[in-house]
Amino acid sequence: MAERDLELWRANFLALALWRVAHGEARWVELAPQDPAPRGAGRPRVYAGGPSHPAFLPVYVPRSPAGDPPHELRLYRETYQAFLRGLSLGERQALEAYLGLGRARRLLYWHAITGRFRRADGVGEDTLEVFLRLTRLCAVIPLDKDQAQG
């Protein structure tokens, strides 16, 4: 899969994960004070601390239509907050409009006949670009063989 297609695939799942956080269905995973950057894709423990403590949002990305292996993205909360501060008014509105939707929806879908992604109905180019930029700020964590299969 071309790099752009892989970014689009990842952006889809990042957008869904952030929507789930905005609607209380998921939460940030706080980092242990003694381990500010856990390694590997193991299940981190959740620590009490609040929105000012270091945390990340784990995003599972399944196997892509082109066969790229499943992996995890980690969006660190501090990175996300800095990203939000850097958005223009229009970009912020596009992001908030997506996160405020009443139900989760994909940004794109894979059109198997053409072998390309297509934007979902109602998803503007500005919304897609905001999530693509945010996706590029995520850490990519390969999954071990057992995690990739299950």
Quick: pLDDT tens for 70-87: 999 999 999 999 999 999
124: number of Cβ within 10 Å: 13
69: number of Cβ within 10 Å: 12
Give the residue among 45, 128, 121, 37 at the shortest CA–CA distance from 74. 37
- Average pLDDT (89-99) is 96
Per the DSSP assignment, residues forming a β-bridge with 75 are: 57
**3-class secondary structure, 98:** helix
One-letter amino acid identity for 41? A
- Average pLDDT (76-102) is 96
Banded model confidence at residue 2, pLDDT cuts 50, 70, 90:
confident
128: number of Cβ within 10 Å: 21
Banded model confidence at residue 135, pLDDT cuts 50, 70, 90:
very high
pLDDT at position 66 is 86
**3-class secondary structure, 85:** helix
The pLDDT mean for the chain works out to 87
- Average pLDDT (56-83) is 96
Tokens representing 102 are 């009443």
Sign of CA dihedral 114, 118, 121, 124: negative
pLDDT at position 50 is 56
pTM of the model: 0.84
pLDDT at position 40 is 47
